[in-house]
Amino acid sequence: MIPAISLSTNITVTTNITVTSTPKAHKHKRPLNSTLKSLTKAGKLDEALRVIESPPSKSVASEPDLEAYSLFLHSCISRKSLEHGQRLYLHLLLSRDKGNYDLLKNPTIKTKFITLFSVCGLIDEALGVFEDGLEHELVPESVWVAMAIGFSKNGYSKEALLIYCGMLSRLVRPGNFAFSMALKACADLCELRVGKAVHAQIIKCNEEPDQVVNNSLLRLYTECGCFDEVLRVFEEMPQQNVVSWNSLIAGFVHRKQVFESLDTFRRMQGEGIGFSWVTLTTVLPICSQLTALNSGKEIHAQIVKSTRKPDVPVLNSLVDMYAKCGATDYSRRVFDGMQSKDLTSWNTMLTGYAVNGCLQKAMEIFNELVESGIRPDAVTFIALLSGCSHAGLTGEGQRLFNEMKKNYGLSPSVEHYACLVDMLGRAGRIKEALEVVKFMPMKPIGSVWGSLLNSCRLHGNVSLGEAIAEQLFELEPNNPGNYVLLSNIYANAGMWDNVKIVRDMMERRGMTKEAGCSWVQIKNRIHTFVAGGGFEFRNSAEYKKVWSQLMDAMEEIGYVPNTGVVLHDVNEETKSIWLCGHSERLATVFSLIHSSAGVPIRITKNLRVCVDCHTWMKIVSSATGRVIVLRDTNRFHHFRGGACSCKDYW
C-alpha cells in the first residue's frame, strides 16, 4: 500500500515504464583507466579532466570505464568540487550526442551526479539528472534515494517525500536507506501521519529495521511529541547507540523535563555508552535554562578531558551556558580559545554580553566581527538593539538600527522594530515610539504593543496604557502578562478599583498570574522557592539568624520597603510581610547560608524582579560583601557592593 500523501508538487511522476535492456559492460583498455584513477586518487582532478577531455587517440580506448568515472565523481563529491563534476557531465553529454554509449544512464553514475549537484546546493540540476530518461528506464532504488536525500538535505522535505512516493508507485521496494530518509523528511515536517504510515511499511516488510531506521523513528516521534512511542521504540530496538540515547534526552528536553534529561545523561554514562558532542550540545542548554552552573562546569570538564577535539556547536553551547549563568568571563575564555568560529559563535558571545548588560563589550565583539569580514545577520542586530534598549543607550541603538540596512543590507524585521519601539518607550519617548509603530512597514506583533505597555508602566502613563492594553488584549487575549502589566499601571496610580476590574477580567477568562518562583543550584541540587512558600525554611533557626542580621543592616542603611509593588489592597504591614516572602529573597537567604563567602550567588527567577526586591538585593550585596547574579525572565542583574549592573534601568 502507498500511503496517502497530500502534498503540493510540481514534480510529475509517470507510471508507464519501459524496461530497456541491461547495458553491456563497457569495454576498456587498462592504461587510460589506471592513469585516471591514480590522478584522481592523488587529488589531481584538473589533470584527470584533461585526460578525459583529450580527443581519443587510436592507442587507447575512446572512453575510460565506469569505475574510473565513479572514483572521479566520488572525489568531486567529497571535495564539493562542482566545477570538475560539471565538466565531466558536459563531457558525457557530448559523448552521448556523438552516439557513444550513454554512461549517464548508468545508475551508479547517475546517483553520483545527483549527489554532487545536491551537496553543492544545485537541486534543479540534480533533478534534471534524475528526470533524464526517468520515463523510459527502470530506475533502481539507489537513484530514487539519492534524489530524495538531495531534496531533504536542501530543506525540501515535501519533495523528498514525493520522490519516495514516486518510487513506491513504480513498485520499487524501499530499503533501509529509503526508510530512514523518509522518516527524516517526516520528522523535519512534523508529519506524524505520513511518518506512521512509513513505520507501518517498515513493520509490514518483515525485515528487521537497522539501527539507523530505528533511530530515525526515535527522532520522528521526538519531534512530533509522541513520547510514549519514543520510549517504546527505544525499549524494543535490539541495541541502542549514542544517537538513540541522544534522541531520548532530546525527548525529555522537548517536554521540558530537565531533571529527567540530566538523569538520562547520567544513566547513559553508567551504561558505558559514553557521549558524543551532540549529546553535550543537547544537555548544555538544560544547564543554561536552569542556570545550573555546576552541572555546566562538569560538562565543560568532560570536554577538556576528552582527547577528541570539540566541534564548533558544542563550544557555542558552552559559551551560551556560561553567559546564561551570568558568567560572561568564562564565556569569553571559551570563545577566545575557539580555533574556528561561525556566525553563531559571535552572536552567542555578543548576546551573552548584551543580556548581562555589558554593552561596551558587546560593541567590541560586534566591531571585531565586522573586522573579521563576517557579515552580521538579523540575530546579531536583535542582540545589539535589545542590549542598547536595556542599557538606555537610545542614540546608539537608533544609529545601529539605521546602519543595519545602510551598511549591512539587512532590512529590519518586526522584531527589530520591536526593539526600536522598546528603546524609545523605555527612554520615555513614547510619542516617538508610537510614530514608529504607525509608520513601520509591517503589522505590529504582540511584543511591540507589549513593550509600549511596559513603557507606560515605567513612566506612569495610565490613559495611553489603557488604549494600548485594549489593542493587546485583542491580539493576545490569553497572555496573562499583559493583564498583569495593566494592573501594575493601575496599582502604581493607586487606582485600586481598576486593579480589581482587571483581576476579575483575568479570573473570568480563566487566567492566573504565574506564581513567582526562584531557584538556585547548591552543589548538584537545584533548590526551588515559591513566593509566599518555604515556611519550613523560614521557621528554621538558621534562616531567622541570617534574616535578623540582614534586617539590622537594612535598618542601618535606612531601607524602607516599597510596598507599592504589592498589587493588592491590603494594609502596609501585610504588604511588607508579603515582600519578605518573595521567592528571590528566600533563595538569597538560602544561598547565603549554604554557599561560602567569595562565591557569587546565582539566582534565577521565572518572572521580572520587583522593584523592592531589586533595592533589597543591592543592600544585601553591600552588607554581606557577596556578588549576587540574578537572572529574571529577560535580563541579568549583577549586584555588587550596593549597586546593580543595570543601573536601576530595566
Partner DNA sequence: ATAGGGTTAG
Q: Taking CB under 7 A as the criterion, which residues in 361-400 touch DNA?
A: 378-379, 382-383, 386, 389
Contacts for 211 with CB less than 8 Å, ≥ 6 apart = 237, 238, 239, 241, 244
Regarding 285 and contact with DNA (CB under 7 A), the answer is: yes
Regarding 487 and contact with DNA (CB under 7 A), the answer is: no
Footprint (CB under 7 A) of DNA, residues 229-248: 241-244, 246-247
Footprint (CB under 7 A) of DNA, residues 48-77: 74, 77
Phi and psi of 639, rounded to 5°? -95, 130
From residue 420 to residue 459, what is the string marking binding to DNA with x (rule CB under 7 A)? --x-----------------------xx-xxx-xx-----
Q: Which of 419, 433, 609, 630 binds DNA (CB under 7 A)?
A: 419
From residue 150 to residue 189, what is the string marking binding to DNA with x (rule CB under 7 A)? --x-----------------------xx--xx--x--x--
Q: Which one, 106 or 211, has the nearer CB to DNA?
A: 211
Rounded distance between C-alpha atoms, residue 385 and residue 402, angstroms: 11
Q: Which one, 486 or 586, has the nearer CB to DNA?
A: 486
Output the smallest distance, CB 496 to DNA, in A. Answer: 22
Give the Cα-Cα-Cα angle 278, 284, 288 (nearest 5 degrees).
Answer: 150
Footprint (CB under 7 A) of DNA, residues 616-635: 634
Output the smallest distance, CB 229 to DNA, in A. Answer: 15
Stretch that binds DNA, among 96-104, 129-137, 209-217, 427-435 (CB under 7 A): 209-217
Stretch that binds DNA, among 145-153, 365-373, 491-499, 617-625 (CB under 7 A): 145-153
* CB-based burial, 97-112: b 16+ in 10 Å, e otherwise: eeeeebbbbbebbbbb
Q: Which of 482, 488, 588, 621 binds DNA (CB under 7 A)?
A: 482
Q: Which of 61, 66, 93, 212 binds DNA (CB under 7 A)?
A: 212
Provide the H-helix boundaries in 205-240: 211-223, 227-236
Phi and psi of 525, rounded to 5°? -100, 145
Q: Provide the CA 643 distance to its chain's centre, in angstroms.
A: 34
Beta strand pairing status for 517-522 and 601-605?
antiparallel
What is Dmax (Cα atoms) for the chain?
107
Site size toward DNA, by CB under 7 A: 79
Q: Which one, 216 or 591, has the nearer CB to DNA?
A: 216
Stretch that binds DNA, among 263-271, 278-286, 298-306, 367-375 (CB under 7 A): 278-286
Q: Which residue is associated with the grid cell 539590622?
A: 552
Q: Kindly tell me the number of DSSP H helices and DSSP E strands found in the chain.
A: 33, 6
Stretch that binds DNA, among 97-105, 213-221, 490-498, 522-530 (CB under 7 A): 213-221
Output the smallest distance, CB 381 to DNA, in A. Answer: 9
Phi and psi of 202, rounded to 5°? -60, -45
Q: Would you say the C-alpha torsion 52, 56, 58, 61 has a positive or negative sign?
A: positive
Following DSSP, what letter does each residue of 345-356 receive, concatenated?
HHHHHHHHHHHT
**What does the H/E/C string look like for 426-460?**
HCCCHHHHHHHHHHCCCCCCHHHHHHHHHHHHHCC
Q: Which one, 398 or 576, has the nearer CB to DNA?
A: 398
Cβ atoms of residues 363 and 351 within 8 Å: no
Output the smallest distance, CB 351 to DNA, in A. Answer: 4
Rounded distance between C-alpha atoms, residue 469 and residue 484, angstroms: 10
C-alpha cell at 105: 544512464
Q: Which of 282, 331, 521, 615 binds DNA (CB under 7 A)?
A: 282
Footprint (CB under 7 A) of DNA, residues 302-321: 311-314, 316-317, 320
Q: Which of 154, 344, 562, 576 binds DNA (CB under 7 A)?
A: 344
Q: Which one, 354 or 628, has the nearer CB to DNA?
A: 354
Q: Which has the closest alpha carbon to 243: 271, 222, 212?
A: 212
Rounded distance between C-alpha atoms, residue 131 and residue 125, angstroms: 10
Output the smallest distance, CB 184 to DNA, in A. Answer: 4
Footprint (CB under 7 A) of DNA, residues 14-53: none
Q: Which one, 169 or 413, has the nearer CB to DNA?
A: 413
